[in-house]
Amino acid sequence: MTKTLENLWGKGTEFLGSKYAILGGAMTWVSDHNLVAAISNAGGFGVIACGAMTPDLLTQEIQKTKTLTQKPFGVNLITMHPDMDALVQVCIDEKMSHVVLAGGLPSSNTIKTLKDHGIKVICFAPALVLAKKLLKNGADALVIEGMEAGGHIGPVSTTVLAQEILPEVGDQVPVFIAGGIGRGEAIISYLEMGAAGVQLGTRFVCATECRAHEKFKQAFIRAQARDAITSPQLDPRFPVIPVRGLVNKGVMAFLEHQRKVVDRFNSGEINQKEGQLEIEHFWAGSLRRAVIEGDIENGSVMAGQSVGMVKKEQPVQEIVQELIDQAQGALNKRR
Ligand SMILES: Cc1cc2nc3c(=O)[nH]c(=O)nc-3n(C[C@H](O)[C@H](O)[C@H](O)COP(=O)(O)O)c2cc1C
């Protein structure tokens, strides 16, 4: 049979209810109703980033998105949100079709509650053993996100995760690949390996419909792959949560902050727990500062390595069409 995009990612499009199996990865402060609706209207599958939103705010975002698109879209919830149960209830009340659970292993209870209300649940699988556990707990689909991605990341690359996980579970549930995807040719490769679709974040930040500050977008357009680094850790006694973003003054200040914390710990002024908390608090509010206020020097400019392939601001429709043309071109060459 001749391979077509439609049959290569048929499982993904059927699961999502979208024309293309391209998820617009939820990005806190970035993925609001405008970007999400634009991605869904362009044939992809937009996902609202709940981030630290209150249940009321999430309700508003979902309702605003519904006014902009008739197409399916999802909500991404961070499982350690203090109001997780109320956010789950919002998704139920708003009759969401899909919810993505991110930021740590979701409880089987959360998965069950959502599924009992007919909501399809997508979970992040950072390793094969966890992929199997999530499937046992009822996850309907998985996202495998490698360390090339922007934002919070694990230690393993997309290509390795895909090779480890796809052959084992790729025929059980739809598996979407995220991290480092900037072109359609790469989409085809992962589909041929058994993926049902892909998830892109970085590539959508410079969409015209994206609310990110002009300076945030310009930083993306200027940056090369190597500028998107993981947050550096100074001392193994004080582990740092790995986040990929553009190197800036803030990253340097973070190193200096860690040095001061370690010095105070060594001199007995603070204990381990206090030091760890001080390190974790350093970036509080900093993504908002960069995305919304445009402080790209001191804020957190989360970006994946595919940032090097972001060349200009352009409408979502154009970005999606480029990806589809590249994917189609790659398929044509294989015939
Ligand atoms: C600015 C930014 C914020 C993000 N916020 C979230 C988030 O709130 N929840 C989440 O699950 N993933 C988040 N991500 C990850 C994306 O959803 C997506 O998986 C990732 O960007 C895919 O890799 P790519 O950046 O190489 O395309 C974020 C990524 C970026 C760049």
pLDDT digits (tens, 9 = 90+) for 54-80: 999 999 999 999 999 999 999 999 999
Tell me: do 196 and 271 sit in the same domain. Answer: no
Distance 151 CA to ligand 1 centre (A): 5
Q: How confident is the model at residue 335 (pLDDT cuts 50, 70, 90)?
A: confident
Q: Are the C-beta atoms of 207 and 35 separated by less than 8 Å?
A: yes
Which residue of 78, 202, 309 sits with most ligand 1 atoms within 8 Å of its CB, as the best mutation to test the pocket?
A: 202
- What was the pLDDT predicted at 2? 59
Tell me: do 252 and 160 sit in the same domain. Answer: no
Name the pTM for this structure: 0.97
The residue segments making up the domain with residue 48 are: 5-209+315-334
201 lines ligand 1 (CB under 6 A): yes
Closest CA to 34 of 210, 207, 212, 293: 210
Tell me: do 289 and 140 sit in the same domain. Answer: no
Q: What is the CATH number of the domain that holds 101?
A: 3.20.20.70
Tell me: do 263 and 168 sit in the same domain. Answer: no
Tell me: do 221 and 202 sit in the same domain. Answer: no
Tell me: do 326 and 260 sit in the same domain. Answer: no
What is the helix (H) or strand (E) element at residue 115, kind and residue range? helix 108-116
Tell me: do 294 and 192 sit in the same domain. Answer: no
Tell me: do 43 and 130 sit in the same domain. Answer: yes
Q: How confident is the model at residue 1 (pLDDT cuts 50, 70, 90)?
A: very low
| Interval 201-258: pLDDT, tens | 999 999 999 999 999 999 999 999 999 999 999 999 999 999 999 999 999 999 999 9
303 lines ligand 1 (CB under 6 A): yes
Closest CA to 120 of 98, 139, 92: 98
Tell me: do 255 and 112 sit in the same domain. Answer: no
DSSP string, 11-78: HHHHHHTSSS-EEE---TTT--HHHHHHHHHTTSEEEEE-TT--HHHHHHHHHHHHHH-SS--EEEEE
The phi, psi pair for 121, rounded to 5°, reads -110, 125
Tell me: do 153 and 72 sit in the same domain. Answer: yes
Tell me: do 20 and 133 sit in the same domain. Answer: yes
Tell me: do 28 and 136 sit in the same domain. Answer: yes
180 lines ligand 1 (CB under 6 A): yes
- Could you give the number of structural domains in the chain? 2
